[in-house]
Structure 1
Amino acid sequence: MTRRFATLDVFTTQPLAGNPLAVVLDSDGLDGAAMQSIAREFNLSETVFVFPPDEPRHRARLRIFTPARELPFAGHPTVGTAVLLALRDPSAADARAFGLEEGVGIVPCVVETLPDGSGGRARFKLPALPEYLGPGPEPEVLAPLLGLEPEEIGFGRHRPSRHGTGPRFTCVPIASAARLDAARPADAPEAGDGLYLYAPDPEGTGLSFRTRMFAPAMGIAEDPATGSAAAAFAGVLMQFEALGEGTHDVAIAQGQAMGRPSTIALQIDIEFGALRSVEIGGAAVLVSEGALRV
């Protein structure tokens, strides 16, 4: 059977930057084992399989696979697939709003496409807020795993911590962007966690950070852009930053150390001292289209 697919670069406006994504549009009849094999064949950080929605009022149901396992939710697959589905929409509207059914629940998306059909921008609201999973290991434990010195871990009030939005992350503050680039992680300290390193962005303004993400348990040596980790990072900022009431925009730059620069827009809304909502946004560009004979 011939199945249509597309590849996109996500969290970037330029092809061959950002985080590459494969989306299989004709997924009916594929079981979990077949989808896992196709994801290994693409060998990208994530591959998305699109199915008709369970509820007709939603746009589609998604299943997301890394080369090693299925994920209940991931950010760059959500942004990239939302842009692709909007580009495939026969309506003439430049902006569209719809829900995507994922393992964590319904993900509400808003998409604006480019007139030439080359890509667009999408943002989505998290269906579940990030969960605090406890403190991370002490710097003395983390330092040898990262190829750094203990005093290079932490800045301001920030200390290692664990947060999750489905996928779980050990979040490690690094004292400077230079030391962030120098880190050479051997493994994540917690089994099954992604390892999310972050530092203040010396070129940014306001709440701006540079990040790196490693997930050996998911088959990802290093990821150029990670929306689910950015979502978990909202919990980090709530824990360590003195954020006041209202909406806070956070700029996240990732992928520089890999030569695939990415830009993720994180928006945090706080009401009565508590996290009310989290949105993730970014651009995606269409790179290729083809067919699988599976």
Structure 2
Amino acid sequence: MSTRRFTQLDVFTATPLKGNPLAAVHDADGLSDAQMAAFARWTNLSETTFLLPPTEQGADYRVRIFTPDRELPFAGHPTLGSCHAWLAAGGVARDAEEVVQQCGVGLVRIRRDGSRLAFAAPPLRRHGAVDEATLAQIARSLRIPRDAIRASNWVDNGPGWVAVMLGSRDEVLALKPDFAAMGALEVGVVAPWPGGEADFEVRAFVPTLGVPEDPVTGSLNAGLAQWLIGAGLAPSRYVASQGTAMGRAGRVFVEQRGDDVWIGGDSVAVVTGQVLL
């Protein structure tokens, strides 16, 4: 065992305790897969990341992302939080405008916008129409009538997301899912919030990751943005609210620039220190 730098952050918020927590272990060279998985189970956060030197040309650093029960090829709030932690620890990117992260889906570009970071949404691994049997299962698991689902799409960029749109923010916030009925599905729910503090309200249900509801979810919002903007259901620039039902106040800043959709948010370090691993 050796002592390594450790940062615990709150992501998609500038106010501590109002976003989505992330544990980041710096200088993780030499840790085995089993050690990383064990530490992620111990933190019991939705994700724990391990920062490593890059192995691909063009990357500034490499990150491995673990939930309490498996490794993910990509996730959004770990991307922004890990980049924030890497920069705060003295990381210097090759490009003054962008940082390039290496992870399981390849290279992910992260743009600096003042104190806020934004990642370029990776290509969707699965997209398009959701079959009727899956929609019926989603409706049962959300305990809503099938006709309450106004639109739907696969928005899988790694974790496996399938998304549905409801008619109102109140409907989204009233959901009390049946996670057993959800089975292996990872369900994102979105609804417009006309005249609100944000343009949309989002919830993310991920019982397969050992965390039934995720407070604020970058990967889901990335997939949602690609779907909603592409389908004309959202403007090219908007703000999503997430975490309200859990007492959080996450904000996700979405902007399409050319062919890229950028998913941005603030991050703040809450705990810094050392960990023995």
* Aligned-pair CA distance for 1:268: 2.6
Query: What letter corresponds to residue 169 of structure 1 in structure 2?
Result: W
The Cα shift of 1:11 comes to 0.4
User: Cα deviations across residues 181-217 of structure 1 (Å, max 9, x unaligned)?
Assistant: 1111223877644210111113348x92100001111
Cα distance, 1:153 vs structure 2: 2.4
Moved over 6 A (4+): none
TM-superposed deviation, 1:3? 1.7
Name 1:44's counterpart in structure 2: 45
**1:74-102 CA-partner distances (Å, limit 9, x unpaired):** 110111111122222277xxx65221101
Partner residue of 1:144 out of 137, 140, 144: 140
Q: How many angstroms apart in 2 are the aligned matches of 1:221 and 1:197? A: 14
1:195-206 alignment, distance < 5 Å: 195-204=187-196
Match of 2:260? Answer: 277
Q: Which amino acid aligns with 2:263?
A: I
* TM-superposition CA deviations, 1:100-142 (whole Å, max 9, x none): 10111111112356xxxxxx31112134246415315466543
Residue 221 (structure 1) aligned to one of 184, 202, 212:
212
1:194 matches 2:186: yes
- Asked if structure 2 preserves the Cα contact closer than 8 Å seen for 1:167 and 1:193, the reply is no
Identical residues among aligned pairs (%): 37
| Aligned: 1:175 with 2:167 | yes
CA RMSD, Structure 1 to Structure 2 (Å): 2.4
Report whether the alignment pairs 1:266 with 2:251.
no
AA partner of residue 235 (structure 1)? Q
1:69 matched residue in structure 2: 70
TM-score, structure 2 as length reference? 0.89
Return the letter of the residue paired with 1:209: F
- Tell me the secondary structure at the aligned position of residue 245 of structure 2: helix
Unaligned runs of 5+ in 1: 114-119, 271-275
Secondary structure in 2 matching 1:124: strand
Could you tell me how far 1:267 is from its partner in structure 2?
A: 1.9
Cα distance, 1:161 vs. partner?
2.3
What amino acid is the match of 1:100? Q
Distance 2:65 2:76 in 1: 10
TM-score (normalised: structure 1): 0.84
In the alignment, structure 2 segments of 5+ residues that lack a partner are: none
Residue 134 (structure 1) aligned with residue 129 (structure 2): yes
Taking a change above 3 Å as real, the CA distance of residues 73 and 25 of structure 1, as seen in their structure-2 partners, is same
Counterpart for residue 117 of structure 2: 122
Separation in 2 of the partners of 1:4 and 1:229? 29
- 1:253–1:242 CA distance, 2 compared to 1 (3 A): closer
